[in-house]
Chain A
Amino acid sequence: MKLDLIICGVGGQGNLLASVAVANYAMKKGLNVIGTETIGAAQRGGSVVSHLRISDEPIYSSTVPAGAADILLGFEPVEALRHMERLNPGGMYIINIEPVPTVLCNMGMDSYPPLDQIIEQLNRVTNHGVTINASDKARELGGIIMTNIVLLGLLNHVSDFFDKDAFLEVLQEIVPSKAWEVNKKAFEAGYQMAV
């Protein structure tokens, strides 16, 4: 088997933790895992993308080739659009629909594309996709910081690769213990949001 994931968003959205959680889970299943991420400007509102490659065969490159991603997990709509060329026509996308506007969009010098146009673009690759407002759900449950956890919950529901209980065990190991209960709640909420 192989599972290539792209997790993309904006610095500070917690996509690295999401990527580490999925990697740890895959390793626990005895699979080979290689990942990579762009960091550096990540803390200052730049684009951040993590590549995660999982396989029972040897993996050589840490980057997911164009057209190969089985899952595109977009923490932000425009970032999903930016990386759509990675998506495999047989794959699926998951998008958190809350936009993080760019500086130029804020200035009124660039326009943020409407959500339906972004979805339309992704649907050119595959119709298999889910959109939710994970940021709102996270806020409602105690903080936008848990957006990544809500999305992991959803990811667990929509992909056969995951076993929820086993994944939660892995997640518990990397989430600070005092925040575990609220994070578990966020995960469950995301899990239930799957259409």
Chain B
Amino acid sequence: MKKYIMGNEAIAWGALESGVKLVAGYPGTPATEIVDGCLQGEGVYVEWSANEKIALEMAMGASLCNMRSLAVMKHNGTNFSADFIMHLNFTGVRGGMVLISADDPGGNSSQNEEDTRILIHTYAHLPLFDPSSPAEAKEMIKEAYVLSEKTGSCYVLRPVMRICHSRSSIEVLGQQRPEQEPDFQDDRSRFVMSAVTELKAGGKLRPLWRHSLLNQKQAEFSQYAEESSFNHLEKGEGKSGLVGCGIGYTYIKEAENRLGMKFPVLKLGTLPLPRQKVVSFLKDLDQVVVFEELEPVVERLIKQICYEEGLTVKVMGRESFLPGEGELTTEMVVKALTDLTLVDSQASAALRSTIPVPIRTRTQCVGCQHRGLLSALKQVARKNKAIVTGDIGCYDAGSFPPLELQSTIFCMGSSIPMASGIFKTGIKRPVIAIIGDSTFFHNGLMGLVNSAFNRSNLTVIVCDNRTTAMTGFQPHPGSGVNIQEQEAPHLDPGKLGEALGVSTRIVNPYLLEETKAALSAAVNEEGLSLVVSSAPCYLLNTRKNRSALFASRPVKMVLENCNGCRICITDLGCPSLYYVESEKKVHINEKTCVQCGLCADICKRGALTL
């Protein structure tokens, strides 16, 4: 039956229709809903793992028992899993195994943008599918399981955000239940990766031997790519060809439709490339433009083929002709064709605003428990001239105006080791790291362990809201519940701190003075301190029981007491407060205020009062 669903759900159905037994992932936009979608299967084990590397290792465990498995992550997770990938490529798999590495060209919901095809294909030499649509992504994952078992290798699906987050009508066949019995068989010469001498390989060291086997596999991968229906040629007018990789193909088709023209097109969906198809496409052409997300991966491979085959086709793309960063668009294809004088100048009729459009920075929700903590921390950090390092999660918005608190944001878990590095220079300022609970369990804990072991004098703050709020409330090891909404052990960051011998304080961030006092004490004591800011996510709990979070404290605005200092805005940044320039006074937006009362704690002039 046809269903109007998100690309991520289509991908999930591809796995379920392939009889997947184990699905593991860590939430990250744009991949998150793939794991949720797999919950629709029966007899399938689905989990949110503590991090992506663990998810991939889980999938390998299932594959060793000859079951089909799926690991799901965004590009940052693939980076994080790179060490395991660089062994998995040597060992191969038993049961069909697919890794989904979702890229976010344009960085719409990410800290960076990158092309994981480089890590997967150029670096790890694993075969990869690059879908042009959700329907194709679903077919690709089914094909990936078949080929994974034929070749004994992990296959990778690399959807981009526009595939994951598009919605279209998809044919859903229904789940194939994983019925066979799991079966573990020892094969130490494959699955014990170690520098031992391999007698059956003539005494070569095992890493070298396994590497040579991976190199030999490439011919097999190439043969399947050659036969794949995901690559095809389209005839067209002229000597200029267009190569569309993955979603790049769709922009070429849109441009052709808009211009009413038909160019020779090579549609590509696999790595390795189908070399013979590429050569037969190139041989009648003078020039080609490669449209791919995001780096010139295929462009360089085609240049290599031209060199090896002695072809004199001019190959252009992301290397220099097209922008080297950001998402592709239909407009970009039209512009490329115009620049090559293949079409008449197609100056876009689109008009942009000629007046400034205010930027909408992300912020904490009205009523969010992080606001009390960030406000208290800003005051304590300012007083102590502290340096604050940040991490990934809702609280990271504290680094944007108006709070401008955290000085750094890199990747999951970096806040604590970076703070430690800052401290070890001997700098005469206190150092504070702030990290969320899901991020803490992902990879932050080891930073805390390292700081304890190496005696760093830091304050580490864990914003414990018991959920992965940023990506849509996925449970994590501190939630006390798992993805099936079953009760699970609740790992308490405070108790972990105590176990590490770290001075630990637990605060309720809705109590501003108490939170400030705890932070102040932590910053001013010797040694490593942990402050756990503990309150469940407000947004999640508005659906359940908001009154359990804080007592309602309606705030009155006494306008004559407001001198327009705006400390309530710069030190709290609540979207329900607004400044009226003509009056030089702050007002409360009664329509959005949820009466947390924090602004009355900030205002020292009696303008915002309880």
Contacts and interface: CB of A to CB of B under 8 A. Distances in A.
Interface of A: 10, 19-20, 23-24, 27, 32-41, 43-47, 57, 60-63, 65-67, 78-79, 81-82, 84-87, 89, 101-113, 117, 121, 124-125, 144
A61 B254 contact: yes
Contact of A44 (B30, B354, B397): B397
18 contacts: A35-B167, A39-B109, A45-B575, A60-B254, A61-B247, A62-B166, A62-B167, A65-B258, A78-B357, A81-B355, A87-B350, A101-B578, A103-B402, A104-B358, A104-B402, A106-B575, A108-B579, A109-B401
B250 A121 contact: no
Contacts of B394: 44
A106 B578 contact: yes
Contact of B357 (A44, A82, A101): A82
B4 interface: yes
Contact of B169 (A27, A101, A111, A117): A27
A36 B365 contact: no
B355 A121 contact: yes
A24 B357 contact: no
A102 B361 contact: yes
Interface in B358-376: 358-365
B358 A36 contact: no
B169 A84 contact: no
Given A66-B350, A111-B581, 20 more contacts: A20-B4, A24-B4, A39-B29, A40-B470, A43-B365, A44-B362, A44-B397, A45-B360, A65-B254, A65-B258, A84-B352, A85-B352, A103-B401, A103-B402, A106-B579, A108-B581, A110-B356, A113-B357, A121-B354, A144-B591
Contacts of A110: 356, 358-359
Main secondary structure of the interface of A (DSSP, over half): mixed
Interface stretch (B48-56, B380-388, B435-443, B565-573): B565-573
B167 A121 contact: no
Residue of A37, A87, A104, A112 contacting most chain B CB atoms (<10 Å)? A104
A65 to B, nearest CB: 4
Contacts of A62: 162, 166-168, 250
Contacts of B364: 44
A67 B397 contact: no
B330 interface: yes
Given A45-B365, A103-B402, A106-B578, A65 B250 contact: no
A67 B591 contact: no
B253 interface: yes
Interface in B402-421: 402
B349 interface: yes
Contacts of B507: none
B359 A40 contact: no
B190 interface: no
Contacts of B194: none
Contacts of B349: 67, 89
